[in-house]
Every structure is written in C-alpha cells, then in structure tokens.
Amino acid sequence: MDASLPRRHVLRGSATVPPLTVAAGLCAVALAGCSAASGTSAAPAAPPAARGTAAPSSPAATERPAPPHTANGLQTDYENTIGKVLPSVVQIDAGDSLGSGIVYDGSGHIVTNAHVVGSKKTFKVTVATREQPLTARLVSSFPQQDLAVIKLDSVPKGLKGAVFGDSSKVAVGQIVLAMGSPLGLSSSVTQGIVSAVGRTVSEGKGQSGGTGATIATIANMVQTSAAINPGNSGGALVDLDSEVIGIPTLAATDPQIGGGGSAAPGIGFAIPASTVKNVADQIIKSGKVTHSGRAALGITGRTVLGPDLQPTGVAVVSTAEGGGARAAGLKPGDIVVRVGGERITDIASLSEVLAGDRPGRRATVTYLRGDATKTVKVTLGEM
C-alpha cells in the first residue's frame, strides 16, 4: 500500500522525496529516455524529368505551403478536461509525506486518502489559486475505506469543487486522466484507460509482513493503466466529461521484482466515486462515518499459520457483543476457513470476501474447533 514514509524514500503512494531532488532526477531520466537519433534520413532524389518537359523555373513554382495545424477532437477533449478539473486538485503536505487531494465543495472541504493524512491533524495545502500553501485541519478519517476529509482554515477566492461522476457508468476501455502531485510535481497529468471495474483490493502494510494484517480492503475499485506514482494518492481519476470517477490510491507491485517488489507498469487502482461521495458526505454532515455499508463478521481475528508456515485460516481472538459471530456460537480459538464458497486463508482474504457482501445477509461460515469441522449461519453486521 502507499504507506507514508520519510521523504528520502520512494514507495507506491503518498510518501515521496523532496520535489527538487526528484525533479532533477526525473529530468535526467526524461532527457535520456526521450532522446532520439540526431540524424535524419536524406530525402529521396527527385525522379528525372520526363522528356519534353521543361524544368520548373524556380523552387517556388513547385513548393506548396504546409497546411495549418489544427488540434483534433480528442486533443481538444483532453485540454478542456484538464482545464476544468486540474484547478480543483491540490497538493497535501502532511509534514513527512506528500500526497494529493480533491476540492469537494466551495466551503473548503478536501477529500483524500486516509493514508495520505496518516495520524496528522494539520496540513499545508497548495491550491491552484494561490502560490503559498494554506493550512487545513482534519475533519475525520475512515481507514477502513482509505478515505479522509480535511478542511481549509481559510477558503481562497475562486475555490471550486470538482464534479463527481456516476461510478456505475464507468466502462472498460474508457479514456481517463490521473491528476495529482506524483513525486512532488504538482498539477501533473497522466493518461490511460479503464482496464477493469469491480476489483476488490487489499492494501497491505507490506508485501506480506507475515501476519496478514491489512490497512484496508476496498470493493468495486477501478483498475486503470494511467500511471499512478508516489504522490498521486488522493488525487483525481477523471473521464473526458470532466467528472471525477475515482481517487487514485495504489499501484500494483510485483513481488518477484527487486526483492521487496517493484512497480507493475500500468496497473493502478482508484476508489470509485460512489464510495468517495458516500463517505465524504457522512463525514461533512456528522463528523464521522455513521453508515459504512460494509459487512462485518463481528470478530477480532488473526492469521493462523500451518506446519509449512503458510496461512491456513483466521483464528477468532474475540467476538463482538451483539455481533453475528457470537450469536451464531463462534468462540475465541475457533479458526474460520471458509465463508460461503470462498476459502479463507488469512485476514486479507476474509476482508475481501466481506467487502463484496452486505450487512444483514446470512453467510455460511465453516470453522475448525479442535479436530472438528463445523458450519454455521452468521447474520452479517455492519463495519
């Protein structure tokens, strides 16, 4: 996941290195990567004039003026979209990390990722209408969905909230733009397409960590090929109707590359706009999330390792009073190995199954108690 780290480190997510240092390195890479061969192919020799045909009297007689350059419709759509949305994308300085955010309304509310704000309560926010950073304070954070809302202490003139679109209309193949502050380079834009929809993704504290602990499991995420780099977290994933369809949150890593995992090019994920609006509206209205809509089993659990040191299930550490698990008879020490038709091997897999379910539904839970395998119906609660 995009964990906040000291600025000297570079990982997928909100943390980044000092802008000037990164900019210099990035320019060097760009110059090397964008260099083309300096020579050009010689123009083919003109064919000899046909017999009986007089040679042109002057070059002007055969040269034609180049047609005027006109931007095509797609380029115009790009430019219009960037012009409308980018002013609503901000840079957030949390002290030890940098991330992005989106102006949610004219009152100064800004929505971003929970991992961007971390445990901080105050921030410096750079908006498009001012060169100097403004101060902002945390309204509330909801790590379960990796979302947070902060509010500017003073709302500058001209501040405008972005327009959030309908997540249900997002289609695979749709052109999208990712806007934010990758590597500390504010107001940057990358482009790609929607690669998939409906992904359920667990954001971990590390590639494995050995405990199965996760920070958040989010359902219905939008997968995109638009580049998501450190600092993009909390920014905007935008369609060509100038509507925000998601918040870029994490980039996939390949654990087989570079030991601890390196970026898997073109695989990034964004929290859908519907989830963003649901959480942000509750935080702005009540100061907290009062109705998550997320299913919960009603247990505190930990990942259990088998004799081969591989995850084999989730042990129940405790059950919540009034929760579905306790009502169904689950006890501390039981090991959950299946929910419905899905195999449960660790906390992450349990979170992913529950993220795709809904409160109030009865789920079949298979668990181990001693040497016996038992099955019970559990009425899912709400996270």
List active site positions: 115, 146, 233
The whole-angstrom separation of Cα 234 and Cα 226 is: 14
* 3 state SS of 343: strand
Mention every residue, 6+ apart, whose C-beta is less than 8 A from residue 160. Answer: 87, 88, 103, 106
* 204 Ramachandran zone, left/alpha/beta (phi>0; psi -120 to 50): beta
* 3 state SS of 158: coil
User: CB count, 10 Å around CB of 350?
Assistant: 24
Nearest to 236 by CA among 92, 100, 79: 100
- In the structure encoding, which two tokens stand for residue 230, read together? 């450190």
- In the structure encoding, which two tokens stand for residue 149, read together? 């809302």
The whole-angstrom separation of Cα 292 and Cα 275 is: 9
Q: Judging by beta carbons within 10 Å of its beta carbon (0-12, 13-18, 19+), is residue 157 exposed, middle or buried?
A: exposed
The whole-angstrom separation of Cα 170 and Cα 293 is: 21
Neighbouring-strand partners of residue 111: 102, 149
* 242 Ramachandran zone, left/alpha/beta (phi>0; psi -120 to 50): left
